[in-house]
Amino acid sequence: MNRITTTRLKKMKQGGEKIACLTAYDASFAHILDAAGVEILLVGDSLGMVIQGQETTLPVSLDEMIYHARAVRTGSEKALLMVDMPFMADATPEQAMHSAGRLMKEGGAQMVKLEGGSVLLETVQALAARGIPVCSHLGLLPQSVHKQGGYRVQGRDEAGALDMISDASAMQAAGADMLLLECVPATLAAEITRAVEIPVIGIGAGPDVDAQVLVLYDMLGITPGKRPSFSHDFLADSGDISAAVAAYVQAVKGGSFPSSAHSF
């Protein structure tokens, strides 16, 4: 069975069809998500926190990302497989090329996700020129949590909003195939989504983006400690994991998630 492609996702945006995305870290969960109709499986470096119990995503290695990507690839058939570039694996364009090559060859990734805006312009251009699909992650950047002063909403002030709009356009022009906006005011996320032709995934970015993503363990209510305000426990509503994932997909497709309670 053919996997979903970047071309298919762009057509979904053009047609106004919402896209469902969830993180996945192993073959068993990947199978459940795939069967429920999740279009994008994101092997997130969030595994450092929800799988390994780390305080941040920073300790995750490239080898660990490849290991989990390979497992998710094995457990799925239809969904597009997107994999995070771990911290400092894209420090230079040359290093990013090497890291992305390994994620694709060894991990089976169809797309890599990079955290950051204009500072990565040359890197995105280089990857795109070599046929490597890229998702540019803007807004709250977990790998930059120490620089950003914690897990805070980004783009609330005019200067920050203008910078993010500029970065979004620059990433598209550089060859990015997708954007991800994390913890961004809903009005700003909507403006960026309208301004670019590539699909925009949101997490804590309101309802008016093209796609939604959550950390799988958050939407199942099994992440230890306090969970993000933009998430929702679908397992509590559904009773079993397969039903919870199906409910999430339906809520994203139908526009009932996220609500204003899950937005900034």
**Residues annotated catalytic, as ranges:** 182
Q: How crowded is residue 94: how many other Cβ atoms within 10 Å of its Cβ?
A: 11
Query: ∠ CA(133), CA(9), CA(196), 5° rounding?
Result: 75
CA 21 – CA 42 distance, rounded (Å): 7
Element (H, E) at 189: helix 186-195
Which one, of 190, 216, 260, lies nearest residue 40 by Cα?
216
Q: In the structure encoding, which two tokens stand for residue 97, read together?
A: 């090329």
The SS3 call for residue 259 is coil
Instruction: Please tell me what DSSP assigns to residue 228.
Output: P
- Letter for the amino acid at 156? R
Query: What is the chain's alpha carbon radius of gyration, rounded to the nearest angstrom?
Result: 17
Task: Evaluate whether 134 touches 111 at the Cβ level (below 8 Å).
Answer: yes
CA 114 – CA 81 distance, rounded (Å): 14
